[in-house]
Amino acid sequence: MENSSGQISISYLQPIWAADRYRKNFPLSSIKFQQRLPGFAHEIGHHSAISTAIKDTSITTHEEMENMDIFHVDPYLEKCKDHLFYRWRRYTEQKEAIEKYEGSLEDFARGYLKFGFIREDDGIVYREWAPAAQEAQLIGDFNGWHGSNHSMVKNQFGVWTIKIPDSNGKSPIPHGSKVKFHFKHDNGVWVDRIPAWITYATVDPTIFAAPYDGVYWDPPPSERYQFQYPRPPKPEAPRIYEAHVGMSSEEPRVSSYREFADNVLPRIKKNNYNTVQLMAIMEHSYYGSFGYHVTNFFAVSSRSGTPEDLKYLIDKAHSLGLQVLMDVVHSHASNNVTDGLNGFDVGQSTQLSYFHTEERGYHKLWDSRLFNYNNWEVLRFLLSNLRWWLDEYNFDGFRFDGVTSMLYHHHGINKSFTGDYSEYFGFDTDVDAVVYLMLANTVIHSILPDATVIAEDVSGMPTLGRPVSEGGVGFDYRLAMGIPDRWIDYLKNKSDDQWSMQEITSCLINRRYSEKCIAYAESHDQAIVGDKTMAFLLMDKDMYIGMSALEPASPIVDRGIALHKMIHFITMALGGDGYLNFMGNEFGHPEWIDFPREGNGWSYDKCRRQWNLVDTDHLRYKFMNAFDRAMNALEDSFQFLSSTKQIVSYTSDEEKVIVFERGDLVFVFNFHTENTYDGFKVGCDLPGKYRVALDSDALEFGGHGRVGHDVDHFTSPEGEPGKPETNFNNRPNSFKVLSPPQTCVAYYKVDESLNGIEHEAAEVYKAEEGLDHGAQEVSQLSNMLEGVEDSDLESAEVSEEDEEAEPITADLVTRYPNPIRGR
């Protein structure tokens, strides 16, 4: 709520609902329910053209649907009940049909045990769903690419099968040999395709634009990677490091899974992230697609190594306590024919294809194919794909790409969402896709209850982040995609004095009540060619000449580093329930990302990470990196991202100040370019003594050291007891601080019962640093954390250089005054 004085008061994340302008609901009775009826329980496959209404006494009753939790969480959903009931009925009927004919949803999602190449005791069985094929053969290195002796047999559901017996106890198809599915169109033309369920595919790098080949992957036990470390516990709030393995090398080339594991994972751990999100893992023939035009859904990207190499990476991450998420692309598929899933589409009807036909099956902006989520075998393929990555590779969850495109028939193209609920629940909604996402989240959380699943959705659809059991779609988090857009708009189009504190605050807190968000200031999207990283927007060409710490910073660099820290910190602290950063942006990586392509002479120069910039001690990149480590350490200790206490007590467009509380901390942001506020009054909840927990102006973060870290800030009561309206900015207590321009400071409440320990600890840290009693040259957080042993890295293989640099690992509870908990 904004008052006339420019103050905003929010009590513990109150709901933010869109306007009630739902124009028209369509009645449940007006919609014909159709459910795909599978074949026999013991048959492999199902002809999805058969449909009927499933009538089952176990279907949720209307009364039970009336009492679904989503209606208690969001009262505005009451007007959309008919649509939500229809969606729920579609989900339960689909799930029950699968359970009836396939045993269980979890078993249905193990299609990789039935399709593709299955090693049996006496041979290899290969199955492929290709109902439009007239004849089919398996060809490859093993038979000299002649399939006349390896013809396949088709069943009534369009599934082709062949079993090749062992020869003298040896596999008929050698490990690592190339294979393809050879089949005939109904027009008599034979074509070769990579098997849809292939787990590895390679290309000859010496031949330009060479097609990919499927590879039979079945290494002997001595070459098969064995996981050694269990999955780490699911964090209360994910601090995500988004990374692309291929571009993670300092050298202008494609990096490998093992190089990433050995060289980059220790950096991620050292900066106190708890989650790694890997892009471009699913095989994609076009490197420049950033991994989003997937050709082979069960195969790892062979540019960076083998399946066993990827397992090594994930196991290494788990040894460091990092959970690993995969960027999964089920919103569309590559349009490639020779090496992609699209090659199985030979003009047949949608019931016999992975994709819709005509316009509904084609994304005109992405030049890609769109799945038919109402097809039985498509559901088997996609759900099994999710389980494959969980079971085979030990991934800890997913970030679903392009969810907005899935949710609506218009795919979000040229669509501005106003918050009107009819935009989310109406005839524009692709219920087939929504039901698939509900099934997907059910499978994921059934197999791995602690999985983290994130939706990339820009529309803000209600219920997307609520559990399926409540009637929601089932995601744990959604990306707060409006935040980076706001920052980019400010940096490109507004001078510093035009920045509105109220607009910034409103953007950061504008998220749906009870649906968690991942906040980020910039991801890979903001740095793609044609755009720039945030650091480069702030400092541009001065990054080439002005980043030496051996001389005073120019005004442009000084401002750029200050705002880089402030923007990322306020985004983390106020923008959501988790935080994401793209690889390299933590230290202000310059320029942009540009994959090798004809237009840049196939150059890798902008498709790498220049780690040397942050590793060079006399360059200012180290300051932004140190602040990134420190703010992650602060969150690790105080766990403010998982706190439901979020109160914005003051904003001022004139003063350019934002004050808020999150969890146990009080944050003061001063975006003014010139004004220093001495004795600035800050409202807070609890009385007592407050101290600096993190200061962006500290010298080790490239600041000017103007904030006193040894200062005790004692509170004063505000207003009359029992009369909140008489409080200061609606807060019962206050304390005064010094707030220099373009700085941000987090304060914590000292536990008075540990005052003696606090004083002794402070003196010890000063002695270790060789500082006098009044020194202000080291930030409070670093004082608290200096000298912490790097125990978290003991199980990892790190270089001697890595071992010498101590990570900032937050342990404020045992190392310094114990902050008051009780969130």
Catalytic residues: 401, 456
The CA-based dihedral angle spanning residues 582, 587, 591, 596, taken in that order and rounded to the nearest 10 degrees: -50
Q: 428 near 409, Cβ under 8 Å?
A: yes
Query: Cβ-count burial of 338 within 10 angstroms (0-12 exposed, 13-18 middle, 19+ buried)?
Result: middle
The CA-based dihedral angle spanning residues 675, 676, 681, 682, taken in that order and rounded to the nearest 10 degrees: 90
Query: Cβ-count burial of 109 within 10 angstroms (0-12 exposed, 13-18 middle, 19+ buried)?
Result: buried
Report the length, in residues, of the chain.
823
Q: Among 306, 56, 80, which Cα is nearest to 201's?
A: 306
At 657, list the tokens: 């100040």
Tell me the residue type at 24.
Answer: K
DSSP 271-311: TT--EEEEES-EE-S-GGGTT-S-SEEEEE-GGG--HHHHH
Taking phi over 0 as left and psi of -120 to 50 as alpha, with beta for the rest, 529 belongs to beta
Query: Cβ-count burial of 806 within 10 angstroms (0-12 exposed, 13-18 middle, 19+ buried)?
Result: middle
Going 104 to 108 to 114 to 118, the CA torsion angle's sign is negative
Q: How far apart are CA 361 and CA 341, in angstroms?
A: 13
The DSSP element (H or E) to which 154 belongs, if any, is: strand 153-154
Going 635 to 638 to 641 to 646, the CA torsion angle's sign is negative
Q: 8 near 731, Cβ under 8 Å?
A: no
At 101, list the tokens: 């004919």
What is the maximum span of the chain, computed from C-alpha positions, in angstroms? 92
